[in-house]
Structure 1
């Protein structure tokens, strides 16, 4: 999403989430952070990946990525990707996530559907989850011979639905987790199966310290964002959508996939709960394959901000290997 120009007039602030956004009592929002939008391309000059923008529903849009093909009828793994930004900024069209998705599509040789869900606080949660579920069901509908949707030719021709993956960064990883958990109780169209889930720097939080967290940490920025974007959440910061380890959270054995990759930077504030999440999945009775990657010396979404460092390249290669295996 393009960075908004902050208002110069004095207004009463409802939520000050600087340096990301300010929300005013009159309902207006100043987005203080974000990268500019960039257009899709028939052939990215660096990766060779083709991209285009599509409309899934009146509320939900996406940018699709198709790597260079060795065969015009080639079938590819399908990744449904949810971008980060704390549920409040950025989009598939912004520089950071467009660049990352181009690189990942080329590296994994995967067809990627990068979803534009509606942002808070104009559209409070759970709207982003519903939009994201709509996108997943739309993709799954491509297996129906005479589906009522308008099919996309890239998805129809090149999508291998035996290799369907869900993934995301930060808030997008939070969405990805919740979508795959929902798929465990609400089957996809035509009973399409999700093969794998990757969570990169997942935005999970809660009211009780985990690992190295202190009680003071728990009422900081991550807490304030959640209260702003989902003020009616049952259980508040221990709502299962933000705290998958809460006492009343659904069992993680219900994850509707057979492979899980969790990627955590060592210095990220979300890493302690991310590690506990991974351990809990292993103990839950879930029968899939779990892989945890902790990147030494790095912080939140480092590979999004600069995908060209050696550690970022290594992480992207691990994500690509996970998808293309």
Structure 2
């Protein structure tokens, strides 16, 4: 029985509540699912691995069915969504989460994971799936929602800092990216903008963030953000959904990259009639299936180029 003295001190619906004893109740999320040695329908195998004990960073690896002993595949480093505070790499929809672990921890953990992947291109391999079957000339980053935000920031960091083995990111895809800022854009309401869920959630999960909602991690076109011309990949795909409240941010980001002087190739795709994360929340619909095929085609197109 819950203590009668237990009270809610912070609430961010539909994501979580925080109580005065420090406990967190997550209200949204999907159950975890085990990895599969070989999926009977697709032939894809998966397994869970530990990247680091301190800090605790884990991931799930996937590999298609091998048709040749020395077969190589493009490497996709994918960052799951969930507003930085729900879901995991082991959720049925897609670890250290906010608010227990405040930002920017998620970015640092993601960078450590990316560097771990890159290290397999030069060091004695600890993970044979990567070392034996990963094509380190064809590395991609990607993510949905908050994961797309992280993918952008990892790709920017890869363009500015040393990556293990000198690894280059070939392409990145951002699906319904979670970006925001202190000033409304497009169809965003001017009334109560700074108290909106996105802004309030960011300020709570990253207390003391320099420039608040205009911190470059959240607002890639904010006053203190580095030039998007430094995006560390050659191809970029941005996808947005027509009914998504974050749609205009995604379009604005795409145009900002296009106008920055970045020299890569890019594409913007909008899914009509759908809302945020439709490829996950409504995964069985035709629009969701088409979006997933679009993301797969992006990787395959580069494979054939």
Query: Would you say same fold, with TM above 0.5?
Result: yes
Please tell me the root mean square deviation across aligned C-alpha atoms, in Å.
Answer: 1.5
Given the alignment, which residue of 43, 51, 57 partners 1:48? 43
**How far did residue 248 of structure 1 move?**
1.5
Task: Output the CA distance in 2 between the equivalents of 1:196 and 1:309.
Answer: 27
Residue deviations 1:99-138, cap 9 Å, x none? xxxxxxxxxxxxxxxxxx3101111001000000000000
Given the alignment, which residue of 20, 25, 31 partners 1:25? 20
Task: Output the CA distance in 1 between the equivalents of 2:283 and 2:100.
Answer: 30
Secondary structure of residue in 1 paired with 2:183: coil
**How far did residue 245 of structure 1 move?**
1.3
TM-score, reference length from structure 2? 0.94
Alpha carbons 1:7, 1:30 under 8 Å: kept: no
Instruction: Confirm whether residue 222 of structure 1 aligns to residue 215 of structure 2.
Output: no
Bigger shift: 15-24 or 293-302?
A: 15-24
Residue deviations 1:189-218, cap 9 Å, x none? 111100001100111001111111112363
Q: Determine the structure 2 residue equivalent to 1:306.
A: 282
Q: Determine the structure 1 residue equivalent to 2:176.
A: 201
Q: Determine the structure 1 residue equivalent to 2:256.
A: 280
Q: Which has the higher contact order (CA 8 A, sep 6+)?
A: 1
Instruction: Confirm whether residue 254 of structure 1 aligns to residue 237 of structure 2.
Output: no
Q: Structure 1 segments of 4 or more deviating over 3 A?
A: 6-10
TM-score, reference length from structure 1? 0.89
Instruction: Confirm whether residue 240 of structure 1 aligns to residue 216 of structure 2.
Output: yes
**How far did residue 13 of structure 1 move?**
2.3
Residue deviations 1:260-316, cap 9 Å, x none? 000101111111011011000000000000100010000000101132211111111
Secondary structure of residue in 2 paired with 1:195: strand
Alpha carbons 1:15, 1:228 under 8 Å: kept: no
Q: Determine the structure 2 residue equivalent to 1:107.
A: none
Unaligned runs of 5+ in 1: 1-5, 98-116
Unaligned runs of 5+ in 2: none
Q: Determine the structure 2 residue equivalent to 1:124.
A: 102
Task: Output the CA distance in 2 between the equivalents of 1:228 and 1:43.
Answer: 41
Q: Determine the structure 2 residue equivalent to 1:161.
A: 136
Residue 197 to residue 40, structure 1, CA distance change in 2 (3 Å): same
Q: Paired residues, what number? A: 298
Task: Output the CA distance in 2 between the equivalents of 1:52 and 1:236.
Answer: 38
Task: Output the CA distance in 2 between the equivalents of 1:80 and 1:26.
Answer: 36
Given the alignment, which residue of 62, 65, 86 partners 1:65? 62
**How far did residue 34 of structure 1 move?**
1.1
